[in-house]
Chain A
Amino acid sequence: MSKGQEGVLPQGKEQENLLVMLERAQSEFGYVPEEFIVEAAHSLNVSISEVYGVATFYSFLSTKPLGKNVIRICKSLPCYLKNSQMIIKSVEDEIGIKPGETTPDGKFSFELTNCIGACDEAPAMLINNDVHVNLTPGKISQILKSYK
Chain B
Amino acid sequence: MRKIEKITVTIDGSQVSGCEGMTILELAQQNGIDIPTLCHSPELTPIGACRICVVAVEGSRTLVGSCHTPITQGMVIYTHSPKVLETRKVIVELLLASHCGSCYMCEKANVCQLRKIAADLEVGLPRFQTRKRYYPIEDVSPYIQRDLSKCVLCWRCVRACNEIAKQNVFGIAYRGFNSKVVVDFDQPIDKEVCQDCNVCIDICPTGALSKPREVGEEKKGRPLVISS
The residues of A with any CB-CB pair to B shorter than 8 Å are 34, 37, 46-53, 56-57, 59, 63, 114
Contacts and interface: CB of A to CB of B under 8 A. Distances in A.
A114 B172 CA distance: 19
A52 to B, nearest CB: 5
A50 B185 CA distance: 9
B173 A47 contact: no
Given A49-B170, A56-B175, 15 more contacts: A37-B185, A47-B168, A47-B171, A48-B185, A49-B169, A49-B173, A49-B184, A50-B168, A53-B171, A53-B173, A53-B182, A56-B173, A56-B174, A57-B173, A59-B175
A114 B175 CA distance: 10
Contacts of A114: 175
Contacts of B173: 49, 52-53, 56-57
The 8 A-B pairs with the shortest beta carbon distances in the complex, nearest first, are A49-B171, A47-B168, A53-B173, A53-B171, A50-B171, A56-B173, A48-B184, A56-B174
A34 B185 contact: yes
25 contacts: A34-B185, A46-B168, A47-B168, A47-B171, A48-B171, A49-B169, A49-B170, A49-B171, A49-B173, A49-B183, A49-B184, A50-B168, A51-B171, A52-B171, A52-B182, A52-B185, A52-B186, A53-B171, A53-B174, A53-B182, A56-B173, A56-B174, A56-B175, A57-B175, A63-B185
A48 B172 CA distance: 11
Interface residues of B, number: 13
A59 to B, nearest CB: 8
Nearest to A50: B171
Nearest to B171: A49
Nearest to B174: A56
Nearest to B181: A49
Contacts of A50: 168, 171
A16 to B, nearest CB: 17
